[in-house]
A = this chain, B = another copy of it.
Amino acid sequence: MLPLQTARKRTPAFDGKRLHLLDAAARVFCAVGYDKASMRRVSAEARVSLAGIYHYVASKEELLYWIQLHTFDSLLRGLENSLDGLVDPRQRLAAAIRNHVRHFGENMHKLKVCARELETLEGEAYDDVRERRRSYFEAVHGLVKELRPRHGVPLGSWLATANLFGMLNWFYQWYDPDRIRVSLDDLAAQQTALFLDGYTASASGDGRRETE
Q: Which residues of A contact B (CB under 8 A)?
A: 33, 35-36, 116, 118-120, 134, 137-138, 144, 147-148, 153, 155-160, 162-163, 165-171, 173-174, 182, 187, 190-191, 193-209, 212
Contacts and interface: CB of A to CB of B under 8 A. Distances in A.
Q: How many copies does the complex hold?
A: 2
Contact of A167 (B167, B197, B205, B208): B167
What 4 A-B pairs come out closest when comparing CB atoms?
Answer: A166-B170, A35-B35, A159-B207, A198-B198
A21 to B, nearest CB: 22
Contact of A204 (B155, B169, B195): B155
Contact of A197 (B118, B197, B209): B197
A134 B160 CA distance: 27
29 contacts: A33-B119, A33-B120, A35-B35, A137-B212, A148-B200, A155-B204, A156-B190, A156-B202, A158-B207, A158-B209, A159-B187, A160-B199, A162-B170, A163-B170, A163-B191, A165-B170, A166-B166, A166-B170, A166-B171, A166-B173, A167-B167, A167-B170, A194-B198, A195-B199, A196-B199, A197-B197, A197-B198, A197-B201, A198-B202
A169 B199 CA distance: 18
